[in-house]
Amino acid sequence: MKRILAVVVICCLLIPGVAMAKSKQSTPLTGTWDCVAHGLSNGDVNFTLYLTQKEDNSVTGCVASPLGSADLTSIVVKDNNLEILIDAPHATYHLSGKCEKNQVSGTWSKDSSPTGKWEGRKSSDSPDPK
C-alpha cells in the first residue's frame, strides 16, 4: 500500500512539470534567423528575420538589413514551405523557401522579377530584435 501511495505521489508531482515543459517549448519558426541573399548586383546581402509563430501556426515578424527594416507583410507556412512577402518603401520582396530543422533555403524576387537564392539559419529561439 505504501508503494502504491508513493507512486501516486511521484506521478502527481511529475505530471505538472512535464506539462509546463511542453507548454514552454517554442514553435519551430519562432526566433532570430540570420540570412543571406545571393544574386544581387553589389554582391551578397545579409539580413535578419525575427519570426514569431503562434500555436495556430500563424506567423508574424520583421526583417532588418543594411537597406533598412520593415514588418513582414504576410507569411504563409504549409508543411515545411515558407512564403514571405515584404512591402518595403523602395520595393516589394518575395521570399520562398523550404525549412528543415533550423535552416531555410530558397529563392527571392524583387518586384516580381526572379533574382536570386537565399538561405538562413536559426541563431536564437528569441524573436526579439533588441
Q: What is the pLDDT of residues 23-60, one digit of tens each?
A: 344 568 999 999 999 988 889 999 999 999 998 889 99
Q: CA–CA separation, 4 vs 54, rounded Å? A: 40
In this prediction, residues 13-32 reach a mean pLDDT of 55
Task: Look at phi and psi of residue 65 and say left if phi exceeds 0, alpha if psi is from -120 to 50, else beta.
Answer: beta
Task: Report the alpha-carbon distance of residue 129 to residue 100 in Å, rounded.
Answer: 23
Q: What angle do CA 66, 116, 34 make, to 5 degrees?
A: 45
pLDDT digits (tens, 9 = 90+) for 58-79: 999 999 999 889 999 999 999 8
CB proximity list for 43: less than 8 A, separation 6 or greater: none
Going by the DSSP 8-state scheme, the letter that residue 111 receives in this structure is: T
Fold classification of 31-124 (topology level): Lipocalin (2.40.128)
Provide the pLDDT confidence category of residue 15 given band limits of 50, 70 and 90.
very low
The whole-angstrom separation of Cα 41 and Cα 1 is 77
